Chain A
Amino acid sequence: MTSDLDSGREHRGEEHPRGTLAVVALYGVLFVLGWFAIYLFIYLPRGPVTR
């Protein structure tokens, strides 16, 4: 698979979906922060378990 970004075909409609990019970027940041928050601030202080 190759992307042909240079062909100029990526101009879809009037504008780029910059709102979507902002929304998913925000989501990605919250997703990572939330995961690490639960791992670092809830799991680890409760005392890890080994098998």
Chain B
Amino acid sequence: MTMHVHVYERAWMWAAGVIIVLFLGTLAYAAVAQGLRPPSHVEMIDPRTVWDDPRFAERGEVTQADGSVVVTAVAMTFAFQPAEIHVPAGRPVTFRLTSTDVQHGFQIVGTNANTLVIPGYVSQFTTVFKTPGEYLIVCNEYCGTGHHMMSAKLIVEAAP
């Protein structure tokens, strides 16, 4: 069939196509070449036995042999456990989180650390904090009347 497309509109269609390809190219590069992926860890846990589960029985920071740190934390209405987390600057930190009740969010304000915490699942992601200091951790998924009170502290300490 024949379609009449004005020359200006055709130019704009090409430009729109180029813009979209530019974005997708950048995203493909970020995902494939730089390994940047959204938190997409797949691991299940029974939300009713979180406290007894060996993976979450002990919470807090554990330094690994290679100097990286694993932080284990639990989200519940309306608090994080532990409420204060200490990690070193400049080293990879892996967070492992789950919920004992409803859905929560875990966001470290001023960083890209941002994940949903869904009961029945373990959220996990890795990041590096460059700047030492105190960071605010907030729940960013509505979880009930105390949602706005649900917060914790992250202290990033200058590496020795």
Contacts and interface: CB of A to CB of B under 8 A. Distances in A.
Check A-B contact in the complex, CB < 8 A.
Answer: yes
Given A28-B15, A43-B112, A48 B34 contact: yes
Contacts of A17: 6, 8
Interface residues of A, number: 29
B34 A32 contact: no
Given A49-B36, A51-B124, A10 B110 contact: no
Nearest to A22: B8
Given A46-B111, A50-B125, A51-B40, 13 more contacts: A1-B3, A3-B3, A3-B4, A3-B10, A5-B7, A9-B4, A10-B6, A31-B19, A46-B110, A47-B128, A47-B130, A48-B112, A51-B125
A13 to B, nearest CB: 11
B126 A49 contact: yes
B9 to A, nearest CB: 8
B127 A49 contact: yes
Contacts, number: 82
A12 B111 contact: no
Interface of A: 1-5, 7, 9-10, 12, 16-18, 20-21, 24-25, 28, 31-32, 35-36, 39, 43, 46-51
Interface residues of B, number: 37
A44 to B, nearest CB: 9
Q: Which 3 A-B pairs have the closest CB atoms?
A: A51-B37, A49-B127, A21-B8
A28 B20 CA distance: 10
B69 to A, nearest CB: 15
B19 A49 contact: no
